[in-house]
Amino acid sequence: FTPVTPQIRETSFIEKMKKTNRNIVVFYGSQTGTAEEFANRLAKDAQRYGMKGMAADPEEYDLSELSRLKEIPNSMTVFCMATYGEGDPTDNAQEFYDWMQGTDDDLEGVNFAVFGLGNKTYEHFNATGKYTDKRLAELGGKRVFDLGLGDDDINLEEDFISWKEQFWPAVCEFFGVEATGEDSSIRQFELVVHNDINMNQVYNSQLREKTRNSEIKPFDSKNPFLATVTGNRKLNKGGNRHLMHIEFDITDSKISFILYCINNTYTILLFYYRNIILYFYIKYNFFFFQNLNIFIHHLIGPLKALYQSWVLDSERNILAILEDLPSLNPPIDHLCELLPRLQARYYSIASSSKVYPTSIHICAVVIEYTTKTERVFKGVATNWLKNKEVTDNGHKLTIPMYVRRSQFRLPFKPSNPIIMIGPGTGIAPFMGFIRERAWQKKQGKEAGETILYFGCRHKNEDFLYQQELEEFERAGVLTQLNVAFSRDQEHKIYVQHLLKKNKEQLWKLIHSNNAHIYVCGDARNMARDVHTAFYEIAEEVGSLTHTQAVDYFKKLMTKGRYSQDVWS
Ligand code: 2AM
């Protein structure tokens, strides 16, 4: 498949819009691709209303030109902005975000709308979308339609569609235009049959190392480092799951990890490219379900409940839909357009750059289960990683990756006590923390109390890094190792139950000794229940009211003394 229009680099979006005769630009702050996909859909929708749109990565354009948008008649800009981590913008929107904070440009005459992508299980729900909407208005921009707040915890796709359904009529009214009623027919791809082709020139999904023209620029999502896999082992002893520990060699990468990683953990990112999508499509039988909306939203119209149960709850991916609805027979070029780009995956780093400066370790659980329609669902990234065996026959297996900075880091002063809570693979960053504390101790620094709360199903099955943890405890690096085995007895024992048991000690560490709390793992249940346990401790031992307790931990968070690295 060949893209219809060749890519031309142009950093002025205004010039590009003028040259290509467009009047709507949809910028996306996207980390995992959803905001990017929404932006593409909005840009495409525009032609239904006789307008012409383009989606754009803010990192690739000079956003300080925003005030010039009014040079284009009947123009507007839309921002699809995802919020990440502790209310942060995505990497590709960081520069734009900084610009908004610092600028006093006059945006009078610039028409805009914002759709935010967030998740209610996180404290700073949609902070970036809210800020963008507020700031553009403060600078004098004209809000054409109200801010949309998508919640990924429930159904982000539905939130987006509902917003979009009201957004376009508002835009039409604003510009005094009417819908043409025609669906877009412009294709991004076209099917070309090549009869005579040199197979050596066919992309076979192997990434080749690019010659880097700048030694200073760090590796990033658009320019990943190809790291060699130097270790891959199963961590659990039994059970039918596969928990893995993988090691990558980053020698020669000059990765900033080595330069900046003082007391920091990092999040590692692995990813793929669009080109191998069909390969995965066949091999792994996977797909993001949201994209199917484009297909079947028209089919089922208002029957959202049916969509929820037949597609989402039954986890039917594109392949399953095509199998189960044989009358759906989309042309392959159209299908290609609907397939989302494979996205980068983030993992917490389980190693410390102090101890292993040239390697990075991660720990992850391989996703595999049977869906309601009796199909086997295999997580793409974890199954891909699982099969990355270390071979010594001279053929090196590599993985494209880069490292991004994370807020999740050890306290600046090694003497501060730390309380780490990480059940399951939530242990990963703490292995890095503990190794770093061991290193600090060896350097003669006075390390404060180092307390770990880990949880797993069975002592003899999935007690990850058991041997290492017990050795750290014996050596006095880990001053307390608490493990909750949830299924070794009749009733469940979870990390928060153990926290409650040690409430006096914990409250003293937090309230009087300046302890830092870290929570890593499942966001939806564990992180919330742990939070509640801390409220109860503050109420029971510290005699605070519930409101005071909530306030107390909110303050700890803003001071960076209660950090979470959680996922749902
Ligand atoms: P379970 O699967 O037996 O319910 C790592 O996944 C560990 O976290 C498992 O032992 C799991 O127990 C436990 N876990 C599940 N839900 C939890 C929750 N809400 N809070 C804390 N731990 C939880």
pLDDT of residue 300: 46
- Ligand 1, pocket-test mutation among 486, 519, 529, 568, most atoms within 8 A of CB: 486
pLDDT of residue 254: 59
Looking from the CA of residue 487, the nearest atom of ligand 1 is 3
Looking from the CA of residue 457, the nearest atom of ligand 1 is 10
358 vs 393: which has the higher pLDDT: 358
Residue 229's nearest CA partner among 350, 387, 364 is: 387
pLDDT of residue 319: 76
- Which one from 30, 67, 253, 348 is the annotated catalytic residue? 348
The reported pTM is: 0.76
Q: Has 567 been annotated as catalytic?
A: yes
pLDDT surpasses 50 at 273: no
Q: Quote the ligand 1 centre to 490 CA distance (angstroms).
A: 14
How far apart, in Å, are the Cα atoms of 205 and each of 184, 221, 274, 278, 391? 31, 17, 9, 10, 19
Lowest mean pLDDT among 112-121, 272-281, 441-450, 462-471: 272-281
Mean pLDDT across 348-365: 87
pLDDT of residue 208: 54
Containing 376, the helix (H) or strand (E) segment is: strand 376-378
Q: What percent of the chain has pLDDT over 90?
A: 54
pLDDT surpasses 50 at 50: yes
Looking from the CA of residue 456, the nearest atom of ligand 1 is 10
Lowest mean pLDDT among 124-138, 208-222, 489-503: 208-222
**CB neighbourhood size of 169 (10 A):** 12
Highest mean pLDDT among 10-14, 85-89, 360-364, 517-521: 517-521
pLDDT of residue 442: 92
Instruction: Name the token pair of 522.
Output: 């499942």
137 vs 344: which has the higher pLDDT: 137
Residue 426's nearest CA partner among 484, 505, 472, 369 is: 484
CA atoms within 13 A on the CB side of 442: 10
Plot region of 42 (φ>0 → left; ψ -120 to 50 → alpha; else → beta)? alpha
d(CA 34, CA 318): 17
pLDDT of residue 276: 32
pLDDT of residue 353: 80
Instruction: Name the token pair of 145.
Output: 């339609």
Which pLDDT band, with edges at 50, 70 and 90, does 390 fall under?
Answer: confident
Atom 12 in ligand 1: which residue has the minimum CA distance?
A: 486
pLDDT of residue 262: 27
Q: Output DSSP code: residue 211.
A: P
Mean pLDDT across 407-425: 93
Mean pLDDT across 359-387: 88
Q: Has 520 been annotated as catalytic?
A: yes
pLDDT of residue 207: 53
* Pocket-forming residues, ligand 1, beta carbon under 6 Å: 423-424, 455-457, 486-487, 492, 494-496, 525-526, 529
Mean per-residue pLDDT of the chain = 83
pLDDT of residue 122: 80
- Which one from 99, 439, 507, 567 is the annotated catalytic residue? 567
pLDDT of residue 303: 65
pLDDT surpasses 70 at 342: no
pLDDT of residue 214: 45
d(CA 534, CA 518): 12
Highest mean pLDDT among 94-108, 195-209, 257-271, 360-374: 94-108
Mean pLDDT across 370-399: 81
3-state secondary structure of 565: strand
Close Cβ partners of 354 (under 8 Å, ≥ 6 residues apart): 261, 435, 436, 439
pLDDT of residue 202: 59
Q: Residue written as tokens 């142009």?
A: 10
Atom 5 in ligand 1: which residue has the minimum CA distance?
A: 424
Q: Quote the ligand 1 centre to 456 CA distance (angstroms).
A: 7
- Ligand 1, pocket-test mutation among 454, 494, 499, most atoms within 8 A of CB: 494
Lowest mean pLDDT among 204-208, 522-526, 562-566: 204-208
Buried b (16+ CB within 10 A) or exposed e, 245-280: bbbbbbeebebebeeebebbbbbbbbbbeeebbeeb
Mean pLDDT across 307-321: 82
Which pLDDT band, with edges at 50, 70 and 90, does 278 fall under?
Answer: very low
pLDDT of residue 398: 77
pLDDT of residue 323: 84
pLDDT of residue 221: 67
Q: Quote the ligand 1 centre to 242 CA distance (angstroms).
A: 17
Number of H helices, E strands in the chain: 18, 22
pLDDT surpasses 80 at 223: no
d(CA 242, CA 488): 19
Q: Quote the ligand 1 centre to 486 CA distance (angstroms).
A: 7
How far apart, in Å, are the Cα atoms of 459 and each of 456, 500, 526? 7, 21, 19
Looking from the CA of residue 424, the nearest atom of ligand 1 is 5
Atom 7 in ligand 1: which residue has the minimum CA distance?
A: 456
Instruction: Provide ipTM, 2 decimals.
Output: 0.98
Instruction: Name the token pair of 159.
Output: 């939130």
Measure the CA dihedral 93/95/97/102, to 10°: -170
Atom 10 in ligand 1: which residue has the minimum CA distance?
A: 456
* Span between the terminal Cα atoms of the chain, in Å: 35
pLDDT surpasses 90 at 326: no
Looking from the CA of residue 485, the nearest atom of ligand 1 is 10
Instruction: Name the token pair of 72.
Output: 């284009």
pLDDT surpasses 50 at 55: yes
pLDDT surpasses 70 at 364: yes
- Ligand 1, pocket-test mutation among 457, 530, 532, most atoms within 8 A of CB: 457
Pairing of strands 418-421, 516-522: parallel
Looking from the CA of residue 426, the nearest atom of ligand 1 is 5
Q: What percent of the chain has pLDDT over 70?
A: 81
Atom 9 in ligand 1: which residue has the minimum CA distance?
A: 456
Lowest mean pLDDT among 9-23, 207-221, 370-384, 455-469: 207-221
At 519-558, the pLDDT tens digits run: 999 988 999 999 999 999 999 999 999 999 999 999 999 8
d(CA 506, CA 353): 29
